[in-house]
Structure 1
């Protein structure tokens, strides 16, 4: 569990945040807030890794603790901002985060931590919070942290749980439910922390024993919240990979058609390898390729031999279409027109964009087999 929480998850979350940053900068508020939430949470988990704790501790005593807490409340703020951006005022303006409150809470925690908490004299990192649970300023510091965390978790729980029915079934709803359950556990974790803090102040428990009951709970909450957060960008990644696979399949047929009909090029023309490394949303490019292939088929109609045209019309399957277009392109390249015919392959009727893309992809697959 330690490897997952403090090594695998931070690397994955920071990687997702960096991957989504270019798109988030040109997108709406929801995308930016989601990217910031994922990045801040990844960094908050990452600073707990021993390879980072020791250098940070040597630079400034116990600084990993402060950075972890500040990044935690920042991620809570951006999570609330994401909720507000998605659901708007329909869930109430109280769910909109307060950046001045974040700034004030963070500044108060930083000032207390730097100037008022006991300093560790050991060259080896140890958690100053758990070592001085009975210190009054530690109590004030943790009270600010838990108040902010608890408020954020309660508000997030209510919003996610209330919004679950408005989200379409599937991964999107599963992500919202995962976030809601994770926030419920986060609320319970905060309640246990507060109870443990009170117990430590009255002397019932000592040292880091005050935090042990919440360890498993917070680990489960983090995993559920991370699962809910990463589903939207993972869905975008899955769509990107699917579009890239479609573009790779369409490219040979599309390239042969636009070689003969350059006016059908929509957007920028790229090589097959350059297409493979192009980033960003490829949905429009896929549609452009499919529409160019459809228009190319219509432009090739006068060059198809009557027998080939009738065969394509009768068969109307993708394999027949692929043979039909290959023969027509050969005649077009040789400047040979066929006798006029009013027989048009029935699959060339106008279709919905999604159906057009699926049809072009199927024909392209048969076309590529014949080429190879």
Structure 2
């Protein structure tokens, strides 16, 4: 086996295991895992012993070939319908679903007719020169014609998805998949050219090797499919790794802000076993943490002094900080002191203090900004500024000074 034989098997098995939990989901979500598992089994298990065993048991030498191609027709039709169902809200998708259903059953009927009605001696000399069994080659020609049509339909679906997608990785991945399925008709074109050339008398048996004619199309198609599937996968893995790093770095800021304002904690996401869309992912955890921290910081404004930001900024400027480090350190120190005021029992103020900086609308930018604030919490200058402000606002016994409108002590 060559690399081109092993690599698709590995990729298909990985995708099948990745989608295996969806087998417990609705019916339309089961098509893709079932198709992937069936194809992975067909590619992994050697079919020659299976074909010989079926032939010996049934006494029908070509029954295994018929079953193999019928299974392939069902599997490819399931993939195409699964892809179409992802955008089944528009009328063109429903029309394509009806077309693929009719095409699948017509192809299965054609395979059965060629198996029952066409004699085994037809084109035996040609197929023997090509190194194929006559009945097996007839079934393969019918299947490759079906594969060509479904490939063009799948190419149309993936190209439409690339135009609707916003993620560049998904756009290029679906475009590569569309290009790969456009090349699938060339897989059967080589066999049709060889058959037509011999039938018209332009060449002798065996002069055309159908494998050599179809191999370039199949090899390029396999490489494009692997690339189209791998690009979004690698991008997803890299984004997951970045999200995990941000989650770890935001833990300090989260433990400072969210426990002080428990109402900002979002509901726990559903369990993965009852969540076929994968909502309990690292990306969703990052979104929840960013939203909780941002809402907590907005809620802390009611417990901050109106002039706290100016005092912190002036102190940090005196310590030699400049923008953008000055702004991040100001927000970090403001968060620490405001959370301290809440823990010390300070009541909400009528005049809400202005926030250090309004939140960003972009999730990635807001997450990175909060990560930078969390990093500023651990800087020595930020800690020194916080201690200086605490000493300036505390009395001789270390308690916050009494409010001016408070009644005199007895």
TM-based fold match above 0.5: yes
C-alpha distance in 1, partners of 2:104/2:129?
Answer: 21
What's the CA shift for 1:171? 2.8
What's the CA shift for 1:218? 0.5
- Counterparts in 2 of 1:80-95, with a 5 A limit? 80-85=80-85, 86=87, 88-90=90-92, 93-94=95-96
- Counterparts in 2 of 1:114-153, with a 5 A limit? 131-133=131-133, 135=134, 137-153=135-151
- Structure 1 counterpart SS, 2:191: helix
- Structure 2 counterpart SS, 1:258: helix
Equivalent residue, structure 1, for 2:361: 352
1:91 and 1:333, CA in 2 relative to 1: closer, same or farther beyond 3 A?
Answer: closer
- Counterparts in 2 of 1:147-226, with a 5 A limit? 147-158=145-156, 160=158, 168=166, 170-198=168-196, 204-206=204-206, 209-226=209-226
What's the CA shift for 1:266? 1.0
- Counterparts in 2 of 1:281-296, with a 5 A limit? 281-296=281-296
Equivalent residue, structure 2, for 1:362: 372
1:298 and 1:157, CA in 2 relative to 1: closer, same or farther beyond 3 A?
Answer: closer
- Structure 1 counterpart SS, 2:205: coil
What's the CA shift for 1:220? 0.9
Equivalent residue, structure 2, for 1:273: none
1:322 and 1:157, CA in 2 relative to 1: closer, same or farther beyond 3 A?
Answer: same
Supply the RMSD in Å over aligned alpha carbons.
4.7
Equivalent residue, structure 1, for 2:4: 5
- Structure 2 counterpart SS, 1:211: helix
Kept after mapping to 1: 8 A contact 2:100/2:150: no
1:295 and 1:94, CA in 2 relative to 1: closer, same or farther beyond 3 A?
Answer: closer
What's the CA shift for 1:75? 4.5
1:238 and 1:342, CA in 2 relative to 1: closer, same or farther beyond 3 A?
Answer: same
1:22 and 1:255, CA in 2 relative to 1: closer, same or farther beyond 3 A?
Answer: farther
C-alpha distance in 1, partners of 2:63/2:244?
Answer: 44
TM-score (norm 1): 0.69
- Structure 2 counterpart SS, 1:219: helix
- Structure 1 counterpart SS, 2:268: coil
C-alpha distance in 2, partners of 1:207/1:48?
Answer: 29
TM-score (norm 2): 0.64
C-alpha distance in 2, partners of 1:89/1:246?
Answer: 42
Q: How many residues align?
A: 346
- Structure 2 counterpart SS, 1:310: helix
Larger Rg: 2
Unpaired runs of 5+ residues, structure 1, are: 119-127, 270-277
- Counterparts in 2 of 1:273-284, with a 5 A limit? 280-284=280-284
2:39 counterpart of 1:44: yes
1:313 and 1:142, CA in 2 relative to 1: closer, same or farther beyond 3 A?
Answer: same
What's the CA shift for 1:233? 5.5
What's the CA shift for 1:321? 1.6
- Structure 1 counterpart SS, 2:332: helix
Equivalent residue, structure 2, for 1:19: 18
C-alpha distance in 1, partners of 2:313/2:74?
Answer: 62
C-alpha distance in 1, partners of 2:145/2:354?
Answer: 71
What's the CA shift for 1:56? 4.7
C-alpha distance in 2, partners of 1:104/1:165?
Answer: 31
